[in-house]
Structures are given as C-alpha cells and as structure tokens.
A and B are shown apart, each in its own frame.
Chain A
C-alpha cells in the first residue's frame, strides 16, 4: 500500500505560468516532507522541504503548501521556466530520527513549453 501518492503522472504548463504539483500521504505520523527534482540520468536533487509545524514554505519561485488535515501537500512553481522540466518526487519521513528513510511517491513529469 503506497504511503505517498502522486496521482498525476504528468503535467504540461506554458512558460511563465504557474505549475502546481500535488502529493497525498496516508500516514498521519509523517512530520517532514520534501520535494526532489530529477533530470534524466541524474540523481534526485533536493528542492524544498516543509515541517509539519508549518503550512507554507517559500524559496524563490518555489512554494510548498501543507494541509495536514487533508494529508495533502503541493508544490507551486511561479513563474515556470523550460529548465523546470523534470520529474518531481514528493517524499515523506519522520524528522530527526536516526536512519529514517524517505518514502517517495512515483513522481510527476513536468513539461514546461516556451
């Protein structure tokens, strides 16, 4: 049973518009969430994270929103750029617990057209 779900396999957006990537989780005990970006033939690169004590975290063009009651988080990219085209993985974990693995979703492929 998947604990982290990214239900949209792909998303296409025009350059300059907003990209919204969604992620749902089932385990209410998760208290830390991360987004990773992955280009072909490269490893995942950390993008942004959020602790469960917050509902929003912003870093430049990237904002992550967390809705704990709905067990839902989203990544907003504004404005989207062609270089943002990649696979985006949502991951959940338990913060500051030694050796806790990241639980990943299946990823969403974002395509930004110019």
Chain B
C-alpha cells in the first residue's frame, strides 16, 4: 500500500505477557518514529530509526520496551512483561529523509492490557 501500515490494529494481552507490534513504513522512507498515545493525550515520542540504526530511544518508558528495524524497512516494537499502564495506542510514523516533515502516520495499534 501507499501509506504506513501497522499490525495488529488491536491487541489484547494479559498482564505479564510479551507483545510485538509491527510497522511497515512507506517504501523508501529513511526515518521511522514510534509514538505512544494515551487516552485523551497527544502522541508522545518513543524512539527513532534512521534506516536500520536506532539513533534515539530516549522516549522508551522502561527497559521492557525494545524496538528494532533490522533491514531498514519494517520495524517491530516489543513490550516485555506488559503492565496495565502500557495500555495505549502505539503509532508509527515515517518520513522520506532524515529531517523531512511532515511525518506520515499509520492507523496505530490499540493495546489493551488486562
């Protein structure tokens, strides 16, 4: 497709389980961002990739959060030992170059931790 694709759209997990969220950016886009959007809030930055290199992970809330983009295209955000406060919408965005705007967002994955 032409846009940023995220899967699954919805994920329900029990507290303590591990989850993996996938992002397929626009083809050829160098920059990839992950954001977390809590209910009633704006998206908040988690991490940034330039091609396969994770250049900024300052927004990851704990060491339970891990992201990768091994071949510089698809990215996976993994959350280990999930907790209820991890419940949120996780958004992925990409842009063509290294400083380009705007960022183009996917529809997100809504994660619910029971």
Contacts and interface: CB of A to CB of B under 8 A. Distances in A.
Q: Are the chains A and B members of one assembly?
A: yes
A98 B99 contact: yes
Nearest to A87: B42
The DSSP consensus for interface residues of chain A is loop
Interface residues of B, number: 29
Interface of B: 4, 6, 31, 33, 35, 40-45, 48, 50, 55-56, 59, 91, 93, 98-108
Given A4-B42, A45-B105, A102-B33, 5 more contacts: A43-B107, A91-B42, A98-B99, A101-B45, A104-B44
Interface in A28-84: 32, 34, 36, 41-46, 49
A93 B107 contact: no
Nearest to B102: A46
Interface residues of A, number: 27
A101 B102 contact: no
A71 B42 CA distance: 19
Given A98-B50, A106-B40, A43 B106 contact: yes
A114 interface: no
B42 A95 contact: no
A29 B101 CA distance: 17
B33 A46 contact: no
B35 to A, nearest CB: 8
A104 B43 contact: yes
A95 B105 contact: no
A75 B19 CA distance: 38
Nearest to A48: B102
Contacts of B103: 46, 102
**Nearest 9 A/B pairs, CB to CB:** A104-B42, A101-B45, A43-B105, A98-B98, A96-B99, A46-B102, A99-B48, A43-B107, A44-B105
Contacts of A41: 107
